[in-house]
Amino acid sequence: MQSSGTPLAGVRVVEVALGAGAVAAGPAGSLPGALLRDLGAEVTRVRPSRRSTLDAGVEYERAWDRGKESVELGDDPDAAVRLVTELAAAADVLVLSGGEDSLERRGVRYSALAQANPRLIVSRIRPAFHALGEIPDIELLVQARAGLLTQIRAHRGGPAFGDPAVAGLGAALSATVGALALLYEREATGAGGWAETSLYDGLQAILPMIIGSVEHHSPSTRLLWQQQGPAEALSYRCADGEYLQLWFGAKGAYEQFLEHIGDPPSERGYNADLISGAMVERGRRWAATFATRDRDRWLESLAGHQFRCEPVWRPGEALRDGHVREIGLAVDREDPDLGPVTMLGPVLRVQRAAEASARPGAAGTRLLSDVRVLDLSAYLAGPVAPLILAELGADVVKVEPRTGDAHRAMQPMFAAGQRGKRALALDLKAPGAAEVLRRLFRDSDVVHHNSRVGAAERLGYDEAAVRAANPAAVYSFASGFGEQGPRALLPANDQLMQALAGIEAGQGGHGQPPTYLVWGAIDVTGGWLAACGIIAGLYARRRDGGGHVVRSSLLGAALTMKSGAFLAGDRVLGGPVLDAGQTGYGAAYRLYRGGDDAWFALAIPDRPAWERLRAVVTSADLPAAPPPLRTESGEPQPEEVVLEQIFATKDAEWWVSALRAATVPVEPVPDADRSAFAGGFVDDPVNRRLGRVTGYRWDDLGRVSQPSFPPRLGPAPQPRARAGIPGLGEHTRDVLRETGFDDAEIEELIGNATVAAPTPLPPT
**Rounded distance between C-alpha atoms, residue 118 and residue 402, angstroms:** 49
Alpha carbons 523 and 206: distance in angstroms, whole number: 9
Q: How confident is the model at residue 365 (pLDDT cuts 50, 70, 90)?
A: confident
Residues shown for the chain: 764
For residue 731, CA distances in Å to 386, 400, 695 come to: 17, 12, 20
Residue 360 is predicted with a pLDDT of 74
Mean pLDDT confidence for 686-692 = 90
SS3 347: coil
Q: Let me know: does 228 contact 672? Beta carbons within 8 Å.
A: no
Predicted confidence at residue 720, as pLDDT, reads 81
The mean pLDDT value for 642-666 works out to 97
In angstroms, the Cα distances linking 206 to 40, 124, 689, 708, 717 are: 25, 18, 21, 11, 24
How confident is the model at residue 131, as a pLDDT? Answer: 84
Other Cβ atoms less than 10 A from the Cβ of 596: the count is 12
Q: Are strands 133-135 and 128-130 parallel, antiparallel or unpaired?
A: antiparallel
Task: Give tens-digit pLDDT for 43-62.
Answer: 999 999 889 999 999 999 99
Over residues 614-637, the pLDDT tens digits come to 999 988 789 999 999 999 988 999
In this prediction, residue 451 carries a pLDDT of: 96
**Biggest CA pair distance of the chain:** 85
- Is residue 214 within 8 Å of residue 704, measured between CB atoms? yes
* Res 2: pLDDT: 40
pLDDT confidence of residue 3 = 45
Strand locations in 503-575, DSSP E? Answer: 547-553, 566-568, 571-573
Dist. CA 415–CA 383, nearest whole Å: 10
Nearest to 205 by CA among 709, 720, 690: 709
Per-residue confidence band for 4, with pLDDT thresholds at 50, 70 and 90: low
Phi, psi for residue 470 in degrees, rounded to 5: -155, 85
pLDDT at 1: 36
3-state secondary structure of 343: strand
pLDDT of 759: 83
- Tell me the average pLDDT across 585-608: 97
Pairing of strands 121-125, 93-98: parallel
pLDDT digits (tens, 9 = 90+) for 442-452: 999 999 999 99
pLDDT of residue 599: 98
Q: What is the pLDDT of residue 764?
A: 59
**Among candidates 49, 567, 36, 625, which has minimal Cα distance to 347?**
36
d(CA 481, CA 594): 45
- Give CA–CA dist 25/2, Å, rounded: 38
For residues 256 and 570, give the distance between their C-alpha atoms in angstroms, rounded to a whole number.
38
How many CB atoms sit inside 10 A of residue 534's CB?
33
Residues 24, 1: Cα–Cα separation, whole Å: 42
% of the chain at pLDDT higher than 90:
87
Is the confidence at residue 392, as pLDDT, over 80?
yes
The answer to whether the bond into 230 is cis (omega within 30° of 0) is no
pLDDT tens-place string over residues 748-764: 999 999 999 998 766 65
Average pLDDT of the residues of the chain: 94
* 409: CB partners within 8 A, 6+ apart: 220
pLDDT score of 75: 84
Using 50, 70 and 90 to split pLDDT, how confident is the model at 416?
A: very high
Q: In this structure, are residues 416 and 208 in contact, taking their beta carbons and an 8 Å threshold?
A: yes
In degrees, to the nearest 5, what angle opens at C-alpha 398 toward C-alphas 420 and 487?
Answer: 115
Q: What's the one-letter identity of residue 77?
A: P
Q: Is 105 exposed, middle or buried (0-12, 13-18, 19+ CB in 10 A)?
A: exposed
How distant is the alpha carbon of residue 456 from its chain centre?
A: 25
Percent of the chain clearing pLDDT 70 (strictly above): 99
CA Rg value for the chain: 25
User: What global pTM score does this model have?
Assistant: 0.97
Q: Is 355 exposed, middle or buried (0-12, 13-18, 19+ CB in 10 A)?
A: exposed
Of 672, 683, 733, 673, the closest CA to residue 706 belongs to 683
pLDDT tens by residue, 286-327: 999 999 999 999 999 999 888 999 999 999 999 999 999 999
Could you say which DSSP state residue 226 is in? Answer: I
CA distance 160 to 153: 7
Q: What angle do CA 171, 592, 146 make, to 5 degrees?
A: 30
Of 129 and 709, which is predicted with more confidence?
Answer: 709
E runs forming strands in 611-701: 666-669, 693-698
Q: Give the span between the Cα atoms of 467 and 438, in whole angstroms.
A: 10
Contact criterion met (CB below 8 Å) for 164 and 143: no
Check whether 664 has a pLDDT greater than 60. Answer: yes
Give the C-alpha separation, 473 to 461, whole Å.
12
Closest CA to 382 of 392, 371, 373: 373
Distinct helix (H) and strand (E) counts, the chain:
30, 31
User: Contact 467/476 with Cβ under 8 angstroms?
Assistant: no
Query: Contact, 65 vs 34, CB < 8 A?
Result: yes
Task: State mean pLDDT over 392-415.
Answer: 94
Alpha carbon of residue 752 to chain centroid: 41
Taking each helix axis as running N to C, give the angle between helix 411-418 and helix 381-391, from 0 to 180 degrees, rounded to the nearest 10: 40
- Distance between CA atoms of residues 336 and 1, nearest Å: 37
| Residue 397 pLDDT greater than 80, yes or no | yes
- 531 vs 167, 174, 398, 416, 514, CA distance in Å? 18, 10, 16, 15, 30
Question: Which one has a higher pLDDT value, 157 or 241?
Answer: 241
More confident residue, 494 or 102: 494
* Confidence (pLDDT) at 250: 81
